[in-house]
Structures are given as C-alpha cells and as structure tokens.
Amino acid sequence: MAKLGDVIDYLKYNKVHYEMIDHDPTFSAQEAAVGIQGPKKNPAKTHIVHADGKYYMIVIPADNRIVDSLLLDVLKAKNVHLASEEDIQLIFPECEVGTMPPFGNLFALPVYIDKMLADDDMIIFSACSQTRLIRLKMYDFLRLVKPVISEFSQSRIEMKEPL
C-alpha cells in the first residue's frame, strides 16, 4: 500500500515542484480551501467508488457532486456507489478518512478526473491528513497520473444543494 511518503518520493523522483500547505484541522475540502493562504483555487476532492466489482478513484472539484448517471456512462458500468469507510481504510491505511491523495496510480486504482478540475492550472489536494494539502501544477499531475478526463460532476450550486 502506498502512503504520503510514496507520493512525495514520486513527485521528487519526477522532479515535480510542489508546495506542502499546513492548515488548521478541517473535515472537508471546502473548509480546507478557506484555511489556506495564497491564491484561492478550488481544491480537489478524491472519492473512491465501487462499480461492477472494481474500485475507481474519482477526482472532482470540492464544491461539486458526482452525477451518478454521468459516472455510470463514463465507467461503462451498471452499478456504482461510494466505497465504504472500511474499504477505504483497507486501501489507504496511512490516510485519515477522506484525505486520500489523487494518485491512484500508486494505489493500483484507475483515476478519473472531472474536466472542470482538469482545466485548472493548479491542483490542490489532501495529503493523507486533515491538516495538510499539496499544491502542484495540473500539467504535472496529468502527466504523472494519466487520468481519464471526462465530465461526471456538477456544481452543488447548480444542483441547488447545500455545500
């Protein structure tokens, strides 16, 4: 199983500039965005879904929601649901719940990123902790992870749901 140190080693090995951002404890990507200094970018939120017997890493803007019907089409699956906390802890034993870094390639998981997020110039994501984020250029993330880029999320504001 990969852990945060493996992500950092992977970034260093590939000569990728990144910034580690420490912040007060938060329990959602939206809260973390409020607590960080510097240019405010919508952080990424990483979900693990289970579709037709296989796990996938799904990366969306933090203020978005997955649209199940779109994700089913993208994954070409019949059934999809969020993985249980127990399953996530088995896959990411070194990470606090809900803080998985979006490097599914290091965890043997296929990665799908929403186009809305992939179009940003930077990506900010949780670093296995509710007090740490990593920021790096989206170009570097896409180059290293090679995720499938598609549209499968929608803004909560557009959906008229609370954040």
The structure's pTM equals 0.86
Locus of tokens 């250029």: 137
pLDDT at 39 (0 to 100): 47
CATH code assigned at 155: 3.90.960.10
Q: Which amino acid is at 97?
A: V
* Cα 41 to chain centroid, rounded: 14
Q: Give the structural domain span for 80.
A: 4-159
| DSSP one-letter code for 45 | E
Q: pLDDT tens digits, the chain, 163 residues: what are they?
A: 567 788 899 999 999 999 999 876 655 555 544 445 444 567 999 999 999 999 999 999 999 999 999 999 999 999 999 999 999 999 888 888 889 999 999 989 999 999 999 999 999 999 888 888 999 999 999 999 999 999 999 987 765 555 4
Cα separation, 57 vs 129, whole angstroms:
18
What's the number of domains the chain is made of? 1
